[in-house]
Amino acid sequence: MRYADGLFGRKEPPRGVSPSGSTTGQPHPQASAALAVVPRPGAGAPSAPAAEPAKRADEAAGSRLIVGPNIKLRGVEIDDCDTLVVEGRVEATMVSRAIQIAENGSFKGTADIEVAEIRGLFEGELTVRARLVIHATGRIAGKVRYGKLLVQEGGEISGDIGTIAERVGVAKPA
């Protein structure tokens, strides 16, 4: 039996079919027999060893904010976000570890981050302490400071552009 994809990628059992072939809206009788009962966390015996690896995996993944397609987020300050994924539109100020702007995504504002991957549009002031990657579909306009820069063929960058060293007034070695 194949289960249909439900909300958030959860699997839903197929709905039953009446003898006439129409859908009854109830779970298929054989599907309910195949479903196992899964105890809730914290119910019954403690399962600390099993919960510990899951907790560490969540901590390693960090906090991630995804602004999906057709979503507009305006006038916010984004802090304590490990990775911001922009598929829609964001007008904000952010201090974070990473930003990923999708091909149809756009960010307008100020960002002070460690790593940036731009496939869409960034307008404003961008400070990337480590690596800035502008993909073939990416465009950046504004004041840009970076540690290392990679621009793929087709990618665009315009405005006041310089390295982090130039921003703090440190002279480059000759």
Q: What is the mean pLDDT of each run of 10 residues along the chain (174 residues)?
A: 48 51 51 47 47 45 88 91 95 95 97 97 97 98 97 96 73 49
**Exposure of 77 in the CB half-sphere (CA atoms within 13 A):** 1
Q: Please check whether residues 81 and 30 belong to one and the same domain.
A: no
pTM over 0.75: no
Q: Please check whether residues 82 and 32 belong to one and the same domain.
A: no
Task: Please check whether residue 173 lies inside any domain of the structure.
Answer: no
Task: Please check whether residue 99 lies inside any domain of the structure.
Answer: yes
Q: What is the pLDDT of residue 62?
A: 76
The DSSP H or E segment spanning 166 is: helix 164-168
Q: Please check whether residues 12 and 27 belong to one and the same domain.
A: yes
Burial of 6 (0-12, 13-18, 19+ CB in 10 A): exposed
Q: Please check whether residues 94 and 51 belong to one and the same domain.
A: no
Task: Please check whether residue 53 lies inside any domain of the structure.
Answer: yes
Q: Please check whether residues 73 and 32 belong to one and the same domain.
A: no
Q: Residue 134: which domain range?
A: 63-168
- Count how many residues are written for the chain: 174
CA dist 7 and 5 (Å) reads 7
Cβ-based neighbours of 42, under 8 Å, separated by 6 or more: none
CA dist 122 and 109 (Å) reads 8
Q: What is the pLDDT of residue 80?
A: 85
Q: What is the pLDDT of residue 108?
A: 97
Q: What is the pLDDT of residue 93?
A: 96
CA dist 70 and 89 (Å) reads 8
Structure-derived torsion over alpha carbons of residues 127, 139, 98, 167, reported in degrees to the nearest 10 = -10
User: Cβ distance 98 to 113 under 8 Å?
Assistant: yes
User: Cβ distance 105 to 122 under 8 Å?
Assistant: no
Q: Please check whether residues 32 and 88 belong to one and the same domain.
A: no
